[in-house]
Amino acid sequence: MKNFADFDEQIRILKEDKKLTINDIDNTVFALRNCGYYEIVNGYKIFLLDHNAETETFREGETFEHLASLYNLDKEIKNHVMQATLEIESSLRTALSYAVAKDFGVYEEDYLDRKKYNSGDFIKKYNTFQRDYLFDMLKEITAKRKVEPLISYRKKHGHIPPWILFKEATLGNLTNLYKVLKGSQKNAVISLCTGLDIELLTEKDKILFMETLDLVLAFRNRAAHGSRMFNYRAKRSTSLSYHPKFHPQIGISPADYRHGKGRSDLYTFFYSMVIFDNKNGHNRLEACLYNILEHSEEYPEDWEILAMEMGYPKERLKTELELLKSLINFLK
């Protein structure tokens, strides 16, 4: 059983039991009070512990400030992940609205007609098919949710078109809606999101797009729940299949892929978004690299740990950090 420890006791544990150096007591108490011992210490200690010690202690000379810097870096990465997923959500929502309205119309009874969609997977938990569970939810929103602009559209127009309804849908809802679309509408959504000619889409392209949506959703959920981000790997069911064009472009060979790279790590997440015509999601990687560079200026050995944990090819991360540093120096 874990006993309660006040801030003084937490400081004592870190200094005396864990052998961690604390350079600024006031700042440490402030961090513990506002972020929590578990989040900072338990969340990031694995990277700084002395693994040869018999008891859990930190490597000689390690500091609380180092732990806090890792925590703050990861928090910045979470923010960039969240912003990146918002960009993809916006593109997907717009494409779905366009494709559904174009083919099925703007009235709920038309574009929410279940016969126009595939049933999707059977959901044991709800004893119903994916399409039916989703459409029951969407119809509930159209009929009862009292938020704008739904209220205005009910009163002024007597119906709610898809581009208004889908504003109330979550990224999970939108991803599931894409999954139950039939072939022609799916192809239209892919073309709208990626800018690829609808006639030139291959089966590999379609698989990559669907798997990218699942990967983005997994990272969105991870970021929203505040868990450690830079070494997160999505579940096996949401990892990318090997793609003969995409993976070589991001420096992942078939052999690398067989060894687990280019599947579901942070590196793959950020680069998977290059398939979207909207590059604002992928461009968030540059902001992440800037934060890593800042951290590495203070703790120069960490970039190699970060590369491994993020799934980033080491030489590629080294090169990109050096280029970014040169650019910053040039601008200065």
User: What does the mean pLDDT of the chain come to?
Assistant: 95
Angle at CA 261, nearest 5°, toward 260 and 263?
85
Confidence of residue 229 (pLDDT cuts 50, 70, 90): very high
Provide the pLDDT for residue 331.
86
Q: Is there a single domain that holds both residue 105 and residue 133?
A: yes
Confidence of residue 3 (pLDDT cuts 50, 70, 90): confident
Question: Which helix (DSSP H) or strand (DSSP E) does residue 321 occupy?
Answer: helix 314-331
The backbone torsions φ and ψ at residue 156, rounded to the nearest 5 degrees and listed phi first, read: -85, -35
Token pair listed for 115: 């016969």
Residues 101 and 111: their CA atoms lie apart, in Å, by 7
Residue with structure tokens 């732990």? 67
Residue 297 lies in a domain: no
Find, among 62, 80, 61, 72, the residue nearest to 30 by Cα.
72
Question: Which helix (DSSP H) or strand (DSSP E) does residue 122 occupy?
Answer: strand 122-123
Provide the pLDDT for residue 2.
75
Reported as a single tens digit per residue, the pLDDT across 81-140 is: 999 999 999 999 999 999 999 999 999 999 999 999 999 999 998 899 999 999 999 999
Q: Is there a single domain that holds both residue 154 and residue 241?
A: yes
- Residue 266, domain extent: 78-284
Q: Is there a single domain that holds both residue 120 and residue 268?
A: yes
Which distant-in-sequence residues (6+ apart) come within 8 Å of 99 by Cβ?
Answer: 181, 185, 188, 189, 192
Q: Is there a single domain that holds both residue 15 and residue 122?
A: no
Q: Is there a single domain that holds both residue 230 and residue 193?
A: yes
Residue 328 lies in a domain: no
Provide the pLDDT for residue 227.
85
Q: Is there a single domain that holds both residue 11 and residue 113?
A: no
Reported as a single tens digit per residue, the pLDDT across 276-308 is: 999 999 999 999 999 999 999 999 999 999 999
Count of positions (residues) in the chain: 332
In the predicted structure, residue 1 carries a pLDDT above the cut 80 = no
Residue 311 lies in a domain: no
Q: How far is it between the farthest Cα atoms of the chain?
A: 72
Mean per-residue pLDDT for 256-267? Answer: 96
Residue 172 lies in a domain: yes
Instruction: Find residue 128's DSSP bridge partners.
Output: 123
Mean per-residue pLDDT for 229-254? Answer: 94
For CA atoms 311, 315, 318, 319, give the dihedral sign: negative
Residue 164 lies in a domain: yes
Q: Is there a single domain that holds both residue 159 and residue 217?
A: yes
CB 182 within 8 A of CB 116: yes
Provide the pLDDT for residue 269.
97
Q: Is there a single domain that holds both residue 165 and residue 253?
A: yes
Confidence of residue 71 (pLDDT cuts 50, 70, 90): very high
Confidence of residue 332 (pLDDT cuts 50, 70, 90): confident
Angle at CA 40, nearest 5°, toward 35 and 44?
155
Residue 14 lies in a domain: yes
Provide the pLDDT for residue 299.
96
Mean per-residue pLDDT for 235-250? Answer: 93
Single-letter residue type at 212: T
Residues 326 and 229: their CA atoms lie apart, in Å, by 27
Q: Is there a single domain that holds both residue 245 and residue 272?
A: yes
Angle at CA 264, nearest 5°, toward 224 and 90?
50
Reported as a single tens digit per residue, the pLDDT across 130-174 is: 999 999 999 999 998 999 999 999 999 999 999 999 999 999 999
Q: Is there a single domain that holds both residue 181 and residue 139?
A: yes
Domains held by the chain: number: 2
Reported as a single tens digit per residue, the pLDDT across 265-283 is: 999 999 999 999 999 999 9
In the predicted structure, residue 181 carries a pLDDT above the cut 80 = yes
Reported as a single tens digit per residue, the pLDDT across 209-221 is: 999 999 999 999 9
Reported as a single tens digit per residue, the pLDDT across 27-47 is: 999 999 999 999 999 999 999
Residues 265 and 288: their CA atoms lie apart, in Å, by 14
Provide the pLDDT for residue 34.
95
Q: Is there a single domain that holds both residue 31 and residue 113?
A: no
Residue 290 lies in a domain: no
Residue 313 lies in a domain: no
Report the 10 Å Cβ neighbour count for 51: 8
Q: Is there a single domain that holds both residue 229 and residue 130?
A: yes
